[in-house]
Amino acid sequence: MEPSQLLKGVLDLAVLAVLDRADGYGYEVVRGLRAAGLEEVGDASVYGTLRRLYHAGLLTSYVVPSGEGPHRKYYSLNAPGRDRLREATGTWRAFAKTMEGLVGAA
């Protein structure tokens, strides 16, 4: 099974979890995901996910000047984003428990 296929189903949860730890701009979120072990995550996928979550009202954003180039757009969780994170975490835990029951004995 391809890790990239599994990642598609949980990328929203992973991005919300990274932003729950600290606000971040796009590439910072990518680095956080990769540091957590999701080396397969693509930059474009994360940027698209951030935009989609923002337009869904789950994130807020603000711009911070950068001394190393263009301004950076930071994202942070808002109350609906924290609610979605809690819901998705519960769904993930139930799914992972089910899968462990199925493949754990194999």
Per-residue pLDDT for 43 more than 80?
A: yes
Q: CB under 8 Å to 12, separation ≥6 — which residues?
A: 49, 53, 84, 88
User: What is the per-residue pLDDT for 63?
Assistant: 96
pTM of the full predicted structure? 0.91
Per-residue pLDDT for 3 more than 80?
A: no
Distance CA 49, CA 72 (A): 17
Taking residues 47-67, what's their average pLDDT?
A: 96
User: What is the per-residue pLDDT for 54?
Assistant: 98
pLDDT band at 1 (very low <50, low <70, confident <90, very high): low
Q: CB under 8 Å to 65, separation ≥6 — which residues?
A: 71
Helices (H), 1-106: 3-21, 26-35, 43-55, 79-103
User: What is the per-residue pLDDT for 26?
Assistant: 96
Per-residue pLDDT for 100 more than 80?
A: yes
